Amino acid sequence: MFTGIIESVGQVESVQPLGGDIRLRIRTALDLSDVHLGDSIATNGICLTVIDWGADWYSADVSRESLNRTTLAQWKVGQLVNVEKAMLPTTRFGGHIVSGHVDDVGEISVVRHDARSLYFEVTAPIALAKYLAEKGSITVDGVSLTINHLRGHILSLNLIPHTAERTNIQTWKVGTKVNLEVDILARYIERLLLGDRAAETSPESKLSMDFLAQNGFLK
């Protein structure tokens, strides 16, 4: 688990094709002195397992599932990425619960200054819209952020200068693809509301406004 509070910005040092997937090497100023084989490090919001590391770098194997569900397949050498080690029981919990399991890819659609803050709009896939809530949490490239406003599947974000300076957000521009992870609680609430119907094999969610009304959740 992670908190979405970025600890360092790393840089992609190598992307090595390997047996149908890839091996990734990231150089970072993150303190890796307490890292062990098999530890998790969120890299642009993707939970990666450390298979090798040194004083200022770590390597991880990336599965085809991760390549298909994230922006990772488009990463190039030199690209900046947000880095966070897995949280400890004693960690200050400054963000929200982040699993590092990316749901889908969104796209930056608006970028502008708002006083000293940066204002962004992100177009999320329509399938994720039901998991988004105004003033709720979302993880964008591993950063825990608050959805300020919501129009359908387009969400707006305001980022203070500190967040922009300590992450790769300064590289975002219109058209940039970003990894999105919805609040983990929304996923489980959906399954709970489905009740016994959750066991059905249809890949499509059966949670709808009609379903909620029929089961007493709406008046």
Greater confidence, 98 or 199? 98
pLDDT band at 203 (very low <50, low <70, confident <90, very high): very low
The Cα 57–Cα 29 span in angstroms is 8
Output the pLDDT for position 209.
59
pLDDT band at 214 (very low <50, low <70, confident <90, very high): low
DSSP single-letter state for residue 88 = P
Encode 150-182: b = buried (16+ Cβ within 10 Å), e = exposed.
Answer: beebbbbbebeeebbebbbbeebeeebebbbbb
pLDDT tens-digit profile of 30-81? 999 999 999 999 999 999 999 999 999 999 999 999 999 999 999 999 999 9
In a domain, 53, yes or no: yes
Count of domains for the chain: 1
Inside any domain, residue 79: yes
Q: Is 31 part of any domain?
A: yes
Q: Does residue 74 fall inside a structural domain? A: yes
Domain housing 17: 8-85
pLDDT of res. 192: 87
Please report, for the domain that includes residue 23, its CATH number: 2.40.30.20
Whole-prediction pTM value? Answer: 0.87
Q: Is the pLDDT of residue 15 over 80?
A: yes
Percent of the chain past pLDDT 90, that is, above it, reads: 76
